[in-house]
Amino acid sequence: MIDEEGMLYVSVEYERYLERAQNLGQLIKLDPYADGDDRYLWGMYSLTDPPAKGGMWATPA
């Protein structure tokens, strides 16, 4: 999903419990106009821990 400022909202699958998904979150906001790590603005996390399945399989829209 893209907001009126052009920021991206991206959902992330967490079923495999990859470290990158754990660090960033399962709903993240990105600034496509920034460089490198500055693109990541914030992330929110699902409420599940292994071995439960978690994350999002849909768009944030």
Q: b vs e for 31-59, b when ≥16 Cβ sit within 10 Å of the residue's Cβ?
A: eeeeeeeeeeeebeebeeeeeeebbeeee
Distance CA 26, CA 14 (A): 7
How many domains are there within the chain?
1
* Residue that has been written with the tokens 């959902």 in this structure: 11
Q: Structural domain of residue 34, as residue ranges?
A: 1-61
Rounded to two decimals, the pTM is 0.78
pLDDT tens digits along 9-60 = 998 887 777 888 888 888 999 999 999 889 999 998 876 666 666 667 777 7
